[in-house]
Structure formats: C-alpha cells, structure tokens
Amino acid sequence: MEQPKLPDLETICPHCGGSGYVTNPVWIEWLKKRKQNPDLPMPDEDEEVKCGECDGIGMVPTEAGKALLDFLYMYFIPAVERKNEGKARFYENQR
Ligand SMILES: [Zn+2]
C-alpha cells in the first residue's frame, strides 16, 4: 500500500537564504560608520553569526510543518515522558 504523501514540512529560511548564517549586526553597523570614519577599527567579532530565525539550520517549518510540530508536542512528548517514567520506575525497583 502506498504511504500517504505529506505536504512540504520545511522551506528555505527567508532570513538567511538557507545558509544558516547572517552578517553580524555589529559588522553592518561598522560598514555604515566606516563611510564617515575610514580609520574605524574592524569589529573584534565574527563577521557571520548564526541566523536567529532558523537557529543555523537554514530551513524553517512551513504551516504544515508547524501543525506537525504541534501534533508531536501534543502526542509524542507525553508518550516519551510516560515511557521514561516507566524506565525510572524500572530502575528504582532494581535497587
Ligand atoms: Zn535562517
């Protein structure tokens, strides 16, 4: 039997274009200020920083992806917690 097809769950992050990194705002500011002051020393920070929108993944969930995350949050996480509680009880009984 053929599996039902899921819609696209993620898409390229529009903030970083999929690289997962963006230009450090400190550098953007430095580039602006350098126009007036060409002797301004370079920032002592990395030129690229992890994208805050996708946390460096380069992809973000679509609306369908967000719905799946909500579904997992509702059913999967409680199931894992129940399973882990069962394990915790198992180990306590071993003592
Ligand atoms: Zn991003």
Residue 68 falls within a domain, yes or no?
yes
pLDDT band of 8, cuts 50, 70, 90: very high
pLDDT surpasses 90 at 95: no
pLDDT of residue 43: 94
What's the CA-to-centroid distance between 89 and ligand 1, angstroms?
41
What's the CA-to-centroid distance between 6 and ligand 1, angstroms?
23
Mean pLDDT computed over every residue of the chain: 92
pLDDT of residue 7: 94
What's the CA-to-centroid distance between 86 and ligand 1, angstroms?
38
Tell me which DSSP letter residue 9 carries: -
pLDDT surpasses 90 at 63: yes
What's the CA-to-centroid distance between 10 and ligand 1, angstroms?
12
Same domain for 16 and 56: yes
Query: Which residue range(s) make up the domain with 37?
Result: 10-60
Domain count, the chain: 2
Each residue of 29-56: pLDDT tens digit?
999 999 999 999 999 999 999 999 999 9
Residue in 47, 46, 48, 59 with CA at minimum distance from that of residue 15 = 59
What's the CA-to-centroid distance between 59 and ligand 1, angstroms?
6
pLDDT surpasses 70 at 64: yes
Same domain for 14 and 55: yes
